[in-house]
Structure 1
Amino acid sequence: MENYIIETEQLALRELTMDDLHNWHQILSDQETMQYYPNTYDIDKTRSWIDWNLDNYSKYGFGLWAIILKETNQFIGDCGITMQNIYGDGNLFPETGYHINKNFWRKGYASQAAKACLRYSFENLAFDEIFSYQKWTNVPSRKVAEKIGMSLRKEYADEKNTKTSVYSITRAEFYNKS
């Protein structure tokens, strides 16, 4: 039996491990999946991604978790909370992020996992607001943010994304919408 952190009707989330390297690399090395990132990830960068999350689990008690499709026990991506420098000013804020294998897009899994992570955050962590940020052209991620109840808070120019869109939801807003 896996040690799941979060479960929904269709999904189970658990900590990433190096055993996920091959499946995770398939996602992060895919051009279409990574179209809003500067580059795809080679195997070493994929390993570093897992190491970063292992460090986050140790440092914060949370990070991005592997998403397992319960019906098939298949690894389909990640979702969770990480501390991010959202505004580029050095201050860290909790952000929900997700990456889904393109073969499982448009099935509601990103929204389902992200909403479960919001609930987990507000029930188990001391944050009063959770953020989501992305390159302004990343319409699918913007739609997920809106679908889980987040509102656009700010857009700003930056070197990496040309323009970044910042969404968030407060604890009060989450419980008022739930």
Structure 2
Amino acid sequence: MNGKPIIETVRLVLREYTPEDFDALFEIMSDEETMRHYPAPFDGERTRGWIDWNIQNYREYGFGLWAIILKESGEFIGDCGITIQNIDGEMLPEIGYHINKKYWRKGFASEAAKAVCDWAFTNTKYDRLYSYMKYTNVASYSTASAIGMKKVKEYPDEKNGISCAYAITRDEWERLYS
């Protein structure tokens, strides 16, 4: 398997991105339906930049968004991980996720996000993890809710118009999953 494996779940392996992930990632990030909550779908340059940004995050922070691989087939189906994001003017640890639309509604985003949350509370000192999204992104906030996050704010955002932030604290996570 290319890229260093980070997390394993029942159905998934999350591993570091490699440049060879470009084609599979571009299929996701260039898709208009998948990217409808972003300002625009990604072109090739922006997709390559996404991979490079995450590889830099691994070096700088020890984490980033990781490629999601289906154990059963070895297929790349998306990404999920932690990045440091500007959420209403604060730089905060955020769990993000993107899934190829062929695999929507099968629980893969929730399974990956839950595993990332577990990893983060086990391997970092963060006391709260966030997910933020455009206020219209029902799938994204449904995933955040599914892993125990609660809506903590709505705020005006230049990129999204209005964004919603969801969060889970270390104590809430321990109560839910210990």
TM over 0.5: yes
CA positional deviation for 1:162: 1.6
Q: For the residues of structure 2 that align with 1:122 and 1:113, how far apart are their CA atoms? A: 14
Find the counterpart in structure 2 of residue 70 from structure 1: 71
Cα shift readout 1:91-120 (whole Å, capped 9, x = no counterpart): 310000000000000000000000000000
1:32 match: secondary structure: coil
Please report the RMSD computed on the Cα atoms of aligned residues, expressed in angstroms.
0.9
1:37 aligns with 2:33: no
Find the counterpart in structure 2 of residue 124 from structure 1: 123
Find the counterpart in structure 2 of residue 86 from structure 1: 87
CA positional deviation for 1:160: 1.9
2:148 match: secondary structure: coil
Find the counterpart in structure 2 of residue 147 from structure 1: 146
Cα shift readout 1:139-172 (whole Å, capped 9, x = no counterpart): 0001000010000000012232121100000000
Q: For the residues of structure 2 that align with 1:61 and 1:158, how far apart are their CA atoms? A: 28
Amino acid at match of 2:99: I
1:25 match: secondary structure: helix
Identity of aligned pairs, percent?
A: 55
Find the counterpart in structure 1 of residue 172 from structure 2: 173
Amino acid at match of 1:98: Y
Structure 1: give runs of 5+ residues left out of the alignment. Answer: none
2:63 match: secondary structure: coil
Q: For the residues of structure 1 that align with 2:40 and 2:77, how far apart are their CA atoms? A: 20
1:131 match: secondary structure: strand
Amino acid at match of 1:45: R
Question: Which ranges of 4 or more aligned residues in structure 1 deviate by more than 3 Å?
Answer: none
1:92 match: secondary structure: strand
1:85 match: secondary structure: strand
Amino acid at match of 1:128: D
Find the counterpart in structure 2 of residue 7 from structure 1: 8
CA positional deviation for 1:47: 0.3
CA positional deviation for 1:173: 0.2
CA positional deviation for 1:48: 0.4
Q: For the residues of structure 2 that align with 1:160 and 1:66, how far apart are their CA atoms? A: 25
Cα shift readout 1:33-70 (whole Å, capped 9, x = no counterpart): 00100001111110000010011000000000000000
Find the counterpart in structure 1 of residue 114 from structure 2: 115
Find the counterpart in structure 1 of residue 156 from structure 2: 157
Structure 2: give runs of 5+ residues left out of the alignment. Answer: none
Q: For the residues of structure 1 that align with 2:101 and 2:141, how far apart are their CA atoms? A: 17
1:21 aligns with 2:60: no
Amino acid at match of 1:20: D
Amino acid at match of 2:170: R
Moved more, 157-166 or 142-151: 157-166
Amino acid at match of 2:166: Y
Q: For the residues of structure 2 that align with 1:50 and 1:118, how far apart are their CA atoms? A: 21
